[in-house]
Amino acid sequence: MSQDEGAHRTALALLAQYGDDAEVIAMLRAAEYAALGDLDGLAQWDDVLAAIAALSAAPKDPRRLN
């Protein structure tokens, strides 16, 4: 699984579990890695945040219920 694929899957899971709060949860996780000085972990959560933003901005399909 590529890093982009992993970020996308994580973003989907967070959106499914937390809905509109998914971005806040991901930002908190990113802050935890930043506080630890883990730049690789921070970069991964930055990718998740970007994926959440992209998924949230995508136009909704009116034929889809959820």
The residue extents of the domains of the chain are 3-56
Structure tokens at 38: 């883990």
Q: What is the pLDDT of residues 25-39, one digit of tens each?
A: 999 999 999 999 999
Closest to 11 in 3D by CA, of 35, 47, 60: 47
Q: pLDDT-derived band of residue 1, with 50, 70 and 90 as boundaries?
A: low
pLDDT averaged over every residue in the chain: 91
pTM for the whole thing? 0.84
pLDDT of 66 strictly over 70: no
Q: How confident is the model at residue 10 (pLDDT cuts 50, 70, 90)?
A: very high
Query: Which pLDDT band, with edges at 50, 70 and 90, does 65 fall under?
Result: low
